[in-house]
Amino acid sequence: MLTAIKTTFLDILVKIYDAWSSHAKSKNNNISIIKFCIVILAALILLSSCVSGIKPENTSVTVPEPPSVIESTIEPDSNQYSLPDGFVYVTDVIPIAQLEIRYFSNDNFVGAVIDGYEAPKAILTKEAAQALKKAADTLYEQGYYIKIFDAYRPQRAVNHFIRWAQDLDDIKMKGKYYPDLDKSVLFELGYIAEKSGHSRGSTLDLTLVEISTGEELDMGSGFDFLGEISHHDTHLITPQQEKNRNILRDAMVDAGFEVYPVEWWHYKLKDEPYPDTYFDFPVK
């Protein structure tokens, strides 16, 4: 700003001088010219003394300070589910295990989501999960994934089965799961019981999936089919179906599990850590 004032003022003085000089020369008056120069010099001195006290404008750019770092104040999810000591999610131990948790769906012999199943998760005791990993590793080398239908089962789910079994009029899933049986005999034949090994946390139901095709092996009957064809000693299946069952059986037995004679999919850890405890925490 100071520079601009000086420049403008000087331009004006120069123009005035030119005009005065022309007039003075025309009158041949050198003394007037000298006087005019003295006036100009005095004016310049006065201007310098005036503008010297003017502070220059602040042309600097203000750079805002970077905002301070705000640490997250988000608390851990208070609803985050922690399993009881001694239990693990199967997929944390065996990431390649496939899950199809039937009791978290309507595709089961009850035809409804079962009490206690709040998520399609497979939970086992640590010991059972480690033994299952041994079997899964063996089967993977042979070209198979394991697919789990059920693992730990809350006692409240078993209670749901009992209520369903007592309602003899509810037979909407009979055609798929127990076509050859009367619902009234399910207790007698051991398909429904007041206590289940699943509730102790070291029992699971599973099948095999061929890695190359992504298809389940043909075991002769589906999971939870209640009938003789699901027994290990049945003569109702083909040699290939029997071979497929034996692939699963051999790997599971070698890993420390026991077979259940009437269900080809059902295996219990021999040395289960809680043989007399039936848990009821939900699957979620």
Catalytic residue among 100, 127, 216, 263: 263
Residues 272 and 53: their CA atoms lie apart, in Å, by 95
Crossing angle (nearest 10°) for helices 2-27 and 30-51: 170
User: Cα dihedral sign for 109, 115, 118, 121?
Assistant: negative
Is 216 in the active site?
Answer: no
- Burial label for 126, CB within 10 Å (0-12, 13-18, 19+), is middle
Maximum distance among all alpha carbons in the chain? 144
CA 99 from chain center: how many Å?
16
30 CB-side CA count, 13 A: 0
Q: What is the set of active-site residues?
A: 263
